């Protein structure tokens, strides 16, 4: 019998797939290049290069077993949360094991922020410190939060920073090692040494300065020159992520990794207690994203495809990017999602199925950031979902019209005891400019 996998690769993919070389994945950033990396993260964007911020946050409730619906969060519980669907006066209790996603994350919009050792970031109106502690005043709480310096990865003092800078900092912060502290200046310069906290004067005041001990002595860096601080990684407290952690996004751009269960007495994975703040309705109204960091095996973004093929028209295609841990790795049109598959404009992904009978999800398109300035053409893609059983010919179970950048289209299809699932996209306009994005893709038994 003809092997079904071989059949799919031969007939589900365009002929050009067999004449192209395999995409080369980018190498990891070397530790020796850390200073250059940090400088690029915090350099002030050139005029005309700032990113637009979203003006509103649509709150979409996505359950594993249902299509997306608009809803408002009423309360958090330990096993279930309460929502009010739009246009309904009836509360809806959603068990946490059935919740895939509520809302979506937004970029940082505050001048000050902290990144913690568990990956959480907290926007703030004010930052101060004394001895081994920092205090921040969040936008969603009337009382300051006290945080040990050993729980802090980075401090932002001259925000807001762009989406690209924030995401890059989150992804690369763990690359920092050694005993040195880092001062990241507004002009992109990075100075390393040992912070003299007791000699740092009014650091959040533009008349103050930071004291840094270097090989040439103690330097006093005016506060207005400092964009951010990365305290010594050697002093960080160890932290481990839990299998049931939650990712909670707030409207000021804060993103919190919270230990299960939700409800009263929330605690971050790094140990920071949020019991006081979550008692207020202001905190609840601030939530714009809620998702599990480990949603389970039904989420296709968590699967490893058995085959990925991309057909660039002019150059090497970008690598496949996927995440399912509740932590947005990229932002689309100013919003971050807790799960996604980001593929080349013209591409095919092949997955093996194990009894799944139904597939639900959403597709969208965004412009590749590295090519956005090269054309004014609106990028578009056409999406297709195909299946194969027992070596038979592939069957198209869903095909979209042309989807332009910024648009979204949801689908719900049967898989009919198929052995293989093929997710495809084809560039309709702008060549390699589009990126094909699959969101909230869930395959599950009927």
Among candidates 253, 431, 421, which has minimal Cα distance to 341?
421
CATH number where 351 lies: 2.60.120.1060
Residue 184 lies in a domain: no
Beta bridge partners of 332: 335
Model confidence band, residue 370 (pLDDT cutoffs 50, 70, 90): low
Asked whether residue 15 falls in the same domain as residue 82, the answer is: no
Q: HEC states along 156-176? A: ECCCCCCHHHHHHHHHHHHHC
Do 82 and 12 reside in the same domain of the chain?
no
Kindly state whether residues 18 and 89 are assigned to the same domain.
no
Q: Does residue 16 fall inside a structural domain? A: yes
Give me 334's structure tokens: 């100013």
* CB 379, CB 369: distance < 8 Å: no
Determine the longest span between alpha carbons in the chain, in angstroms.
Answer: 78
Q: 10 and 83, same structural domain?
A: no
For residue 308, the cross-strand partners are 349
Q: What are phi and psi of 262, to 5 degrees?
A: -75, 180
CA 307 to chain centre: 24
Smallest Cα–Cα separation from 292: which of 116, 424, 97?
Answer: 97
223 C-beta neighbours (distance < 10 Å), count: 18
Minimal CA–CA distance to 139: which of 329, 340, 343, 287?
287
Supply the range of the domain harboring residue 311: 4-27+296-444
In a domain, 245, yes or no: no
96/16 same-domain check: no
Q: Are residues 23 and 86 in the same domain?
A: no
Asked whether the whole model's pTM tops 0.85, one would answer: no
Residue 140, helix vs strand vs coil: coil
Q: Let me know whether 21 and 66 are in one domain.
A: no
- Average pLDDT over all residues of the chain: 81
Instruction: Let me know whether 361 and 427 are in one domain.
Output: yes
Query: In angstroms, rounded to a whole number, what is the distance separating the alpha carbons of residues 78 and 278?
Result: 13
Which whole-number Å values give the CA distances from 71 to 164, 263, 279, 301, in the listed order?
Answer: 29, 19, 21, 24
Q: Which long-range contacts (CB under 8 A, 24 or more apart) does 318-324 make?
A: 318/23, 318/344, 318/368, 318/435, 319/23, 319/25, 319/26, 320/344, 320/347, 320/349, 324/295, 324/299
Max mean pLDDT range (82-91, 110-119, 289-298, 361-370): 110-119
Domain edge (last residue) among 76, 103, 130: 103
State percent of the chain over pLDDT 90: 41
Structure token digits, residue 346: 């013209």
Residue pair 134/267 in contact (Cβ under 8 Å)? The answer is no
Residues 330, 271: Cα–Cα separation, whole Å: 27
- Cα dihedral sign, 334-336-342-346: negative
Does residue 301 lie within any of the structural domains? Answer: yes
Instruction: Tell me the pLDDT band of 374, cut-offs 50, 70 and 90.
Output: low
- Asked if residue 87 has pLDDT above 70, the reply is yes
| pLDDT for 221 | 92
Look up tokens 């593929």; give the residue.
Answer: 343
> Cα torsion at 326, 327, 330, 332 (round to 10°)?
50
pLDDT at 162: 85
Instruction: Express each pLDDT in 312-360 by its tens digit.
Output: 877 777 889 999 999 998 888 889 999 999 999 999 999 999 989 999 9
In a domain, 328, yes or no: yes
Does the structure show a pLDDT above 60 at 46?
A: no
Same domain, 65 and 9: no
| pLDDT computed for residue 36 by the predictor | 42
Q: Would you say 268 and 118 are in contact if contact means Cβ atoms under 8 Å apart?
A: yes
How much is the pLDDT for 169? 67
User: Is 390 in the same domain as 309?
Assistant: yes
Residue with tokens 């839990």: 242
Domain termination residue (choose one: 103, 133, 167): 103
Q: Report CA torsion sign: 62, 63, 65, 66.
A: negative
* Residues 400 and 320 reside in one and the same domain: yes
In terms of pLDDT, which residue wins out, 227 or 392? 227
Residue 435 resides in a domain:
yes
With respect to residue 358, please indicate whether it lies within any of the assigned structural domains. yes
Q: Let me know whether 371 and 439 are in one domain.
A: yes
SS3 content of the chain, % helix, strand, coil (to 5): 15, 40, 45
Nearest in space to 333 (alpha carbons), one of 435, 240, 201, 444? 435
The answer as to whether 368 is a domain residue is yes
CA distances from 12 to 257, 317, 360 (A): 40, 19, 21
Residue 105 has pLDDT above 50, yes or no: yes
> Among 60-64, 313-317, 439-443, whose mean pLDDT is lowest?
313-317
Q: State how many domains the chain has.
A: 2
What is the percentage of the chain residues whose pLDDT exceeds 70?
Answer: 80
Domain end among 103, 136, 157: 103
């Amino acid at each position: 019998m003809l092997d079904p996998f071989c059949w799919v690769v031969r007939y589900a993919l365009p002929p050009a797939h067999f004449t192209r070389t395999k995409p080369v994945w980018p190498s990891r950033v070397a530790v020796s290049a850390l200073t250059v990396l940090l400088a690029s993260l915090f350099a002030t964007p050139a005029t005309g290069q700032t990113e637009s911020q979203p003006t509103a946050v649509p709150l979409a409730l996505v359950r594993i077993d249902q299509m997306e619906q608009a809803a408002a969060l009423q309360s958090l519980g330990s096993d279930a949360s309460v929502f009010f669907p739009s246009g309904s006066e009836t509360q809806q209790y959603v068990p946490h094991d059935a919740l895939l996603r509520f809302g979506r994350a937004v970029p940082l919009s505050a001048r000050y922020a902290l990144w913690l050792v568990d990956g959480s970031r907290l926007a703030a109106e004010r930052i101060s410190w004394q001895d081994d502690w920092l205090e921040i005043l969040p936008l969603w709480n009337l009382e300051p939060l006290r945080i040990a310096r050993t729980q802090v990865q980075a401090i932002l003092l001259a925000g807001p920073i762009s989406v690209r800078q924030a995401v890059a900092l989150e992804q690369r912060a763990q690359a920092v090692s050694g005993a040195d502290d880092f001062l990241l200046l507004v002009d992109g310069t990075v100075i390393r040494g040992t912070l003299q906290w007791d000699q740092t004067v009014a650091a959040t005041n533009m008349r103050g300065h930071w004291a840094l001990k270097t090989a040439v002595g103690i330097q006093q860096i005016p506060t207005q020159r400092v964009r951010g601080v990365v305290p010594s990684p050697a002093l960080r407290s160890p932290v481990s992520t839990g299998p049931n952690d939650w990712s909670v996004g707030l409207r000021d751009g804060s993103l919190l990794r919270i230990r299960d269960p939700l409800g009263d007495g929330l605690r971050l994975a790094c140990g920071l207690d949020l019991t006081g703040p979550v008692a207020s309705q202001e905190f609840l109204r601030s939530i714009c994203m809620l998702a599990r960091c480990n949603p389970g095996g039904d989420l296709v973004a968590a699967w490893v495809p058995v085959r990925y093929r991309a057909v660039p028209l002019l150059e090497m295609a970008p690598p496949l990017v996927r995440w399912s841990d509740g932590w947005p790795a990229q932002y689309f049109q100013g919003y971050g999602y807790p799960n996604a598959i980001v593929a080349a404009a013209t591409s095919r992904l092949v997955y093996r199925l194990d009894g799944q009978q139904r597939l639900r999800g959403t597709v969208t398109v965004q412009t590749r950031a590295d090519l956005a300035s090269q054309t004014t053409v609106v990028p578009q893609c056409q999406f297709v979902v195909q299946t194969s059983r027992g070596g038979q010919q592939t069957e198209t179970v869903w095909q979209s019209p042309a989807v332009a950048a910024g648009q979204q289209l949801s689908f719900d299809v049967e898989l009919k005891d198929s052995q293989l699932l093929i997710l495809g996209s084809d560039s309709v306009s702008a060549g390699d400019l589009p990126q094909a994005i699959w969101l909230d893709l869930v395959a599950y038994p009927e």
